[in-house]
Structure 1
Amino acid sequence: MTAYGELLPSVVEAANRGADFLEARFDPRTRPADRAAMYHLGAGLEEGSAAAVREVLDGVLPGAGWFDAEAERSLPPGEWWIVDGAEGAVNHVHGLPEWAVTIALVKDGIPQLSVVRQPVGDLTCTAIRGMGARRNDRPLRVSAKTGLDAAVADASQAGNSPGTHARFGRAVAAMSDRALLVRNTIPTTFPLLRVASGQADVFWQYEPDLPGTAAGTLLATEAGAVVSDLSGKPWDLNSPDILVAAPGVHAAALEVLSS
């Protein structure tokens, strides 16, 4: 086991603590009345879960920083914890099941270790760079598809500008002409897990947020996926966009999305 692998039990425990906080507050009947109520509930979930995670991980890796999405737009060199205490909070507050705690340890822009804990279904996904990806101790593997016409493609809407939204709409239309099925889904981690497990074949996103991509991308690539930006260049956490796909369809998906 690598040096980072030795940290895995502590990271799993931290994810469990955060997930316990979320699970205790989950009610399938919840329906926020408006945007303000939705954000109030989501912020409380994120704050409480992230605090539980940090309580376990503080001091586990001396010198590692804590990425703050509110304060930083890119990831500086070095080792960083990237935590989303309530990945999919918008789902949680609407009584939907796709929410989780995600933890990634990143070094110089490259994810090294990740854990995703999803209480609904009792699922724990783990990955260590160079050592594969697992869900509840079973290996994850991407699909063997070689044709985009048989591929399920997922995207996650991102960005806050009309230009990005227009680009996203054009890409969905172009991919719909080539792929079997195109879906727009949130949060980012779940479509990446579907690629990792072979249940989907392509994922792309513009202006990806770091907490959403750090953990899930490592799980997908350790399961055999190919990752790049949408110009075909090598991807890291500071890249402006992302494409993650099964090896047999990555080139075709890149052709569609880069045109």
Structure 2
Amino acid sequence: MSETLLQAAGVTASDADLLSQTVSAVREAGSALRERFGEVVSYETREELMSALAGNDDAALEILRPALTRLRPDARFVEDELAGGALPSGEWWVVDPAEGNVNHLHALPEWAVTATLVRDNQPVLTVVHVPLTGETYTAVAGGGAHLDGRPLRVSPTTDLGLGLVATSQARPDENDEVVRRIGSSITAMLFDALVVRTSVPATLHLVNVAAGRLDAFWQFAGARADLLPGALLVTEAGGQISDAQGRPWTPQSESFLAAAPGVHAQAVTTLSR
């Protein structure tokens, strides 16, 4: 989206320029990860797995951290991409240097690089770049959601029974209660929706909701880095965000739902059983 159009939508020139420079940084980090992508990375222990994941994170952060710090010197970084809950006041960069990192290690294509600027616990702008397709999704609060400059709109579907929906596992080693909630919710959606997809990462489901390709996405538990980029994209594309019971969502919520307006209430009913 051009800076002129962003300003016409009420977005300040500083935020419009910041978005453009954030896109450049995220794309550069994506290129670094693409160079590391190809063969399945083998590991035999949890320690070897964590080391391989950290290698990808570090390669992207070597680019993202200095670039984003130059853009907003006073903004702090969220160090743990799996962390949730509210942030202290002020500006924070919530970055996932390799969203879907485990897919990258397994030579699967579903992974991305994300960066979201959060100001006083409200996402201001976000960039999601998918290196293997070259797609870049962007959103600015009040300025709409876009894919490579083209406006995004959520699905017009009004019947959950005709809907394609998705869910994701927020992190490994979830507690027993969360695992059971995930399982029962999938069962409920298998009865009420047309097709249910289950895969990681959450962000790539959420960009599909924003683009109108999916009708709804839900998740139990979750991290800020998983959900904030998609929450802003879906909201700016005309979708609805809540927890699974239909209450306002915050990073402290125990569940998350993003849906086209026409199926949101039906999805809440299904997930509230």
TM range (shorter): over 0.9
Identity %: 40
The counterpart of 2:242, out of the listed 222, 225, 228, is 228
Instruction: Report what 1:216 is aligned to.
Output: 230
Instruction: Report what 1:63 is aligned to.
Output: 74
1:39-69 C-alpha deviation (Å, 9 max, x unpaired): 3211100112022111111131232111122
The counterpart of 2:106, out of the listed 94, 97, 112, is 94
Q: Could you state the TM-score of these two structures normalised by the residue count of structure 2?
A: 0.90
1:164-208 C-alpha deviation (Å, 9 max, x unpaired): 101111111111110001111101110001101111101001111
Alpha carbons of structure 1 residues 96 and 10: separation in structure 2 relative to 1, 3 Å: same
Output the amino acid matched with 2:150: R
Looking at structure 2, the residues matched to 225 and 70 of structure 1 have their Cα atoms a distance apart, in angstroms, of 25
Structure 2: gaps (5+ residues)? 1-6
Q: CA deviation at 1:72?
A: 5.6
Output the amino acid matched with 1:82: V
Looking at structure 1, the residues matched to 91 and 109 of structure 2 have their Cα atoms a distance apart, in angstroms, of 32
Aligned pairs (5 A) from 1:90-169: 90-158=102-170, 160-169=174-183
Output the amino acid matched with 1:250: H
Instruction: Report what 1:7 is aligned to.
Output: 18
Q: Quick check: 1:110–1:237 contact (8 Å CA) kept in 2?
A: no
Q: CA deviation at 1:239?
A: 2.1
Alpha carbons of structure 1 residues 46 and 120: separation in structure 2 relative to 1, 3 Å: same
* Aligned partner of residue 128 in structure 2, secondary structure: strand
Q: Quick check: 2:84–2:251 contact (8 Å CA) kept in 1?
A: no
Q: Could you state the TM-score of these two structures normalised by the residue count of structure 1?
A: 0.94
The counterpart of 2:200, out of the listed 186, 197, 202, is 186
Looking at structure 2, the residues matched to 46 and 156 of structure 1 have their Cα atoms a distance apart, in angstroms, of 21
Any runs of at least 4 consecutive aligned residues in structure 1 with deviations exceeding 6 A, and if so which? none
The counterpart of 2:56, out of the listed 45, 55, 60, is 45
Aligned residues: 258
Root-mean-square deviation (CA, aligned residues, Å) is 1.6
Q: CA deviation at 1:70?
A: 6.8
Aligned pairs (5 A) from 1:194-209: 194-209=208-223
Q: Quick check: 2:84–2:222 contact (8 Å CA) kept in 1?
A: no
Looking at structure 1, the residues matched to 191 and 203 of structure 2 have their Cα atoms a distance apart, in angstroms, of 25
